[in-house]
Amino acid sequence: MTKLTDTHISLAHGNGGRLMRELIEGLIADSLGDRLLDIENDAARIDLDQRDAELLITTDGFTVKPLEFPGGDIGSLAVHGTVNDLAVSGATPHYLSLNLFIEEGLEVSLLQRLLCSLAKAAGEAGVKIACGDTKVVPRGEGSGVYFATTGVGLRPKSLQLGFSHIQPDDRILVSGPIGDHGIAVMLAREQFGLRGDVRSDAASVLAFTRTASEFSGLRYMRDPTRGGLATVLHELHRATGLGVRVYEPQLPIRDQVKTVCEMLGYDPHYLACEGRVVAIIAADQADSLLQRWQQLPNGGRAALIGQLNRHDTGVVLETELGGERVLEELEDDPLPRIC
């Protein structure tokens, strides 16, 4: 194996020839280490025991500026985003595929940090990188690097989750404070002249989804990423036809996140999270799940935030002073664009 000696990515690293082989063998495979299944073949064989389980697949693309931010980077995001989509579906993720679209001129040392971060996140989530592909796009026709990952995992056949299981009076739980990721990325851009110590919440939510899956009353889970909590609540409303009522005082939002939102006129309900879960659960099991979640690492601020009902006609926020406010569906970008 040849170590890559170039300091910057050039177009020739994507041409299929020697330089590309050196990039893949000397940097990508090296950085991904024991998380990597196979770079020898066009297609990789994966082992999944489907007895009593269903095969699930999901995919996600990743674009973020800056590529590194407090609490994470695009490499760890590319694992967490896809792992979490499987996790909230009730599955255990096993394998990822990895696409890289690298912009000509990207620093090799930065790429290496991102890939090492990706490998670390994959290791923590217990997933292998089964296969990958690398393209290099001309300078100016990318934004450093775009990643895409597709994940496959197994869900026990006994676990039945979905909108159709949701009933009036079910409770809505969230696993931690919302909006940290959106604000952390925005502050990392420094374009508003603001600084702060908010760190992204980007993380695997597997511990939360596994705990929730032990409850017979669990109906549905979702991670509030693009479009934030408000978008998940709107999906719930649209899919079930039920009213969605959220108690604003219960909603966990960090003071720093509130402050930045107030200064810039953003609504934290639309801010992306990358390490939170929203769970819908039968009313009589909601408190038990909440207690279990609160005992998990990073679960201290998990909260019961609302419930489904037959009388509201949309997504309603019950405010601190007893008032009501309709939480509209996200329209044009009223928030910092982070992906």
The owner of tokens 């991904």 is: 32
Q: What residues numbered 314-333 form the site for a second copy, per CB under 8 A?
A: 329-333
Q: Does 105 bind a second copy (CB under 8 A)?
A: no
Question: Judged by CB under 8 A, which of 79, 114, 119, 152 binds a second copy?
Answer: 152
Q: Which is nearer to a second copy, 17 or 300 (CB)?
A: 17
Q: Does residue 111 contact residue 13 with C-beta atoms inside 8 Å?
A: no
Q: Does residue 164 contact residue 241 with C-beta atoms inside 8 Å?
A: no
Q: Which is nearer to a second copy, 159 or 283 (CB)?
A: 159
Q: Does 266 bind a second copy (CB under 8 A)?
A: no
Smallest separation (angstroms) from a second copy to the CB of 109: 22
Q: Which is nearer to a second copy, 15 or 291 (CB)?
A: 15
Determine the Cα–Cα distance for residues 52 and 38; give it in Å rounded to an integer.
27
Residue 335's closest CA among 268, 258, 256? 268
Question: Judged by CB under 8 A, which of 4, 69, 77, 95 binds a second copy?
Answer: 95
Q: Does 268 bind a second copy (CB under 8 A)?
A: no
Determine the Cα–Cα distance for residues 46 and 44; give it in Å rounded to an integer.
6
Q: What residues numbered 12-41 form the site for a second copy, per CB under 8 A?
A: 12, 14-20, 40-41
The upper half-sphere exposure of residue 153, i.e. CA atoms within 13 Å in the direction of its Cβ, equals: 24
Smallest separation (angstroms) from a second copy to the CB of 181: 13
Q: Does 52 bind a second copy (CB under 8 A)?
A: no
Question: Judged by CB under 8 A, which of 31, 63, 213, 307 binds a second copy?
Answer: 63
Determine the Cα–Cα distance for residues 166 and 160; give it in Å rounded to an integer.
11
Q: Does residue 150 contact residue 82 with C-beta atoms inside 8 Å?
A: yes
Count of residues of this chain found to bind a second copy when the rule CB under 8 A is applied: 79
Question: Judged by CB under 8 A, which of 80, 155, 181, 219 binds a second copy?
Answer: 155
Q: Does 298 bind a second copy (CB under 8 A)?
A: no
Q: Which residues contact 262 (CB under 8 A, 6 or more apart)?
A: none
Q: Does 247 bind a second copy (CB under 8 A)?
A: no
Q: Does residue 131 contact residue 40 with C-beta atoms inside 8 Å?
A: no
Smallest separation (angstroms) from a second copy to the CB of 67: 13
Determine the Cα–Cα distance for residues 118 and 102; give it in Å rounded to an integer.
15
Q: Does 66 bind a second copy (CB under 8 A)?
A: no
Q: Does 44 bind a second copy (CB under 8 A)?
A: yes
Task: State yes or no: cis peptide before 66, omega within 30 of 0.
Answer: yes
Q: What residues numbered 124-143 form the site for a second copy, per CB under 8 A?
A: 130-135, 137-138, 140-143
Residue 85's closest CA among 204, 4, 179, 183? 204
Q: Does 8 bind a second copy (CB under 8 A)?
A: no
Q: What residues numbered 181-220 form the site for a second copy, per CB under 8 A?
A: none
Q: How far, in Å, are 64, 73, 148, 211 from residue 188 at the CA level? A: 11, 11, 22, 33
- Strand order in 171-174's β-sheet? 218-222, 278-281, 171-174, 303-309, 243-247, 315-318, 324-326
Q: Does 148 bind a second copy (CB under 8 A)?
A: yes
Reduced to 3 states, what is the DSSP secondary structure of residue 243? strand
Q: Does 305 bind a second copy (CB under 8 A)?
A: no
Q: Which is nearer to a second copy, 249 or 334 (CB)?
A: 334
Q: Which is nearer to a second copy, 225 or 307 (CB)?
A: 225
Smallest separation (angstroms) from a second copy to the CB of 80: 13
